């Protein structure tokens, strides 16, 4: 072969190499999420939902000719660990996007890292309004979950409807999520029911192992109803300690919890220890009677097959929908460049198993609500279920 032909072949190979590499490369999504400790009750099923979405999308050819790759990491519900993992995923693993974190301590910390590195970050579950406040919002941050204003208002609207209630107590975790939800709850309740008195507020730390002092102190104030925002594994511990002390019976089960303790995940974790009769919420009630959307029914059947579990998860939908939203944005942008994808997320409407959701172009939030109802003993299920789940997304109080 002549020298000219050798050089020509070498040039052709060099030109084709990037295209070949691109065809084989994956779109990497960093996914820090609590997979151990009390928060794993929620974090593990959120991750399973993301895994299922990735599997479905890849089975249909991926995105822009590339397969998705989910890089899962255990954040342990720690802001410091979530930040360390986010940096590692960006610098060492060269991820294209970040999706994940569970708590309102982790998400704001990781949001800062996303901003520094100009990489899209979708928070599927963190609720604190501080995450997307004007001073903290940036072009690469988007929230899929509800927020603490909507949660607090929705919980307050339920208690406001209980005319016999005059004295309300509060117990919530002592960090951004709990503080922000309680502030929204009190603000709404004072306007909706100015005759109601807040008689007590208890602030256990996240990961509290002994709730007894908080429980006994609150019972001593003799409330008629309780707003509780203890969640995840902490609620499992709390409920097991509160039940034998007569905490729930003392208020005739008039307790409203906005921390998704209405999910099948939480109900199965508590089993017979679940305090039947309380009110709570879930992004996905899983078990519906009568008006279940066919898309949701298909989603739950696929989820049960994917996880090899008898019952579906009320949290999997958040991981699943976050990946779907990101995928739709990549397609719309026709690019994996975060600057382009972040712009395509603005005003993006996407499908979820429980209906369409849209990212507000100004707030970067979907401003979604949740399904609320009283928790009852399932007739055909060995755990508590939401009775007649009703979708609520309550805004500020108006006369």
Task: Confirm whether 9 is domain-assigned.
Answer: no
Same domain, 133 and 68: yes
CATH number at residue 318: 3.40.50.2300
Beta strands 67-74; 121-123: pairing state: unpaired
Same domain, 236 and 380: yes
Same domain, 80 and 207: no
Task: Confirm whether 132 is domain-assigned.
Answer: yes
pLDDT tens-digit readout, 145-195 = 999 999 999 999 999 999 999 999 999 999 999 999 999 999 999 999 999
Same domain, 343 and 378: no
Same domain, 104 and 180: no
Query: For residue 75, what is the DSSP state?
Result: -
CB count in 10 Å sphere of residue 97: 26
Same domain, 160 and 224: yes
Kindly give the parts of the chain with pLDDT less than 70: 1-24
Same domain, 269 and 346: no
Give the burial string for 293-309 (b: 16+ CB within 10 Å, else e): eeebeebbebbeeebee
Task: Confirm whether 293 is domain-assigned.
Answer: no
Q: For the chain, how big is the Rg over CA atoms in Å? A: 23
Rounded to whole angstroms, the Cα distance separating 162 from 158 reads 7
**Residues with Cβ within 8 Å of residue 304, at least 6 apart in sequence:** 310, 311, 312
Task: Confirm whether 291 is domain-assigned.
Answer: no
CB count in 10 Å sphere of residue 74: 19
CB count in 10 Å sphere of residue 94: 11
Same domain, 160 and 137: no
Same domain, 262 and 303: no
| Beta-strand runs (E) in the chain | 26-33, 67-74, 97-99, 121-123, 141-143, 167-171, 197-202, 225-228, 255-257, 279-282, 349-352, 355-358, 370-377, 384-392
Q: Counting Cβ atoms within 10 Å, is residue 292 exposed (0-12), middle (13-18) or buried (19+)?
A: middle
Domain count, the chain: 2
CA torsion, points 74, 76, 78, 83, in degrees to nearest 10? -10
Same domain, 248 and 115: no
pLDDT at 20: 34
Residues counted in the chain: 399
Beta strands 279-282; 349-352: pairing state: unpaired
Task: Give how far the C-alpha of residue 391 lies from the chain's centroid of Cα atoms, to the nearest Å.
Answer: 16
Alpha-carbon distances of 72 from 75, 86, 321, 344, rounded to whole Å: 9, 11, 16, 25
Same domain, 343 and 214: no
Residue 63 structural domain: 24-146+299-358
Residue that has been written with the tokens 């939203």 in this structure: 325
Task: Confirm whether 363 is domain-assigned.
Answer: no
pLDDT at 202: 98
Same domain, 375 and 267: yes
Residue that has been written with the tokens 């999910």 in this structure: 263
Rounded to whole angstroms, the Cα distance separating 158 from 264 reads 21
Question: What does the DSSP assignment read for 98-159?
Answer: EE---STTHHHHHHHHHHHHT--EEESS---GGGGSTTT--TTEEE-S--HHHHHHHHHHHH
Task: Confirm whether 107 is domain-assigned.
Answer: yes
Rounded to whole angstroms, the Cα distance separating 94 from 295 reads 35
pTM above 0.85, yes or no: yes
């Amino acid at each position: 072969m002549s020298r000219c032909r050798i050089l020509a072949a070498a040039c052709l190979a060099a030109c084709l190499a990037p295209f070949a590499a691109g065809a084989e490369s994956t779109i990497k999504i960093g996914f820090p999420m609590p997979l151990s400790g009390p928060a794993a009750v929620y974090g593990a099923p959120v991750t399973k939902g993301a895994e299922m979405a990735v599997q479905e999308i890849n089975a249909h050819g991926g995105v822009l000719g590339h397969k998705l790759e989910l890089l899962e990491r255990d954040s342990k519900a720690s802001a410091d660990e979530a930040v360390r993992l986010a940096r590692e995923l960006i610098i060492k693993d060269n991820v294209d996007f970040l999706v994940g974190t569970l708590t309102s301590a982790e998400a704001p910390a990781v949001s800062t890292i996303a901003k520094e590195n100009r990489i899209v970050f979708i928070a599927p579950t963190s609720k604190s309004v501080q995450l997307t406040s004007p001073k903290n919002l940036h072009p690469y941050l988007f929230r899929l979950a509800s927020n603490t204003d909507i949660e607090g208002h929705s919980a307050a609207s339920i208690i406001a409807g209980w005319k016999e209630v005059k004295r309300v107590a509060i117990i919530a975790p002592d960090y951004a999520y709990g503080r922000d939800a309680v502030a929204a709850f009190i603000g709404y309740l004072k306007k909706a029911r100015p005759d109601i008195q807040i008689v007590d507020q208890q602030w256990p730390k996240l990961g509290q192992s002994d709730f007894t002092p908080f429980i006994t102190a609150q019972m001593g104030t003799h409330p008629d109803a309780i707003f509780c925002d203890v969640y995840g594994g902490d609620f499992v511990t709390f409920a097991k300690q509160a039940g034998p002390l007569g905490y729930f019976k003392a208020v005739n089960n008039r307790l409203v919890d906005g921390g998704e303790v209405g999910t099948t995940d939480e109900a199965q974790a508590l089993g017979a220890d679940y305090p039947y009769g309380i009110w709570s919420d879930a992004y996905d009630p899983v078990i519906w009677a009568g008006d279940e959307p066919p898309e949701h029914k298909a989603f739950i059947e696929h989820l049960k097959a994917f996880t090899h579990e008898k019952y579906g998860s009320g949290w999997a939908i958040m991981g699943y929908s976050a990946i779907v939203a990101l995928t739709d944005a990549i397609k719309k942008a026709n690019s994996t460049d975060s600057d382009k994808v972040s712009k395509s997320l603005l005003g993006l409407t996407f499908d979820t198993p429980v209906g369409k959701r849209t990212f507000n172009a100004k707030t970067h939030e979907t401003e979604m609500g949740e399904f609320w109802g009283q928790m009852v003993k399932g007739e055909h299920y060995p755990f508590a279920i939401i009775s007649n789940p009703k979708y609520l997304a309550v805004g500020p109080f108006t006369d």
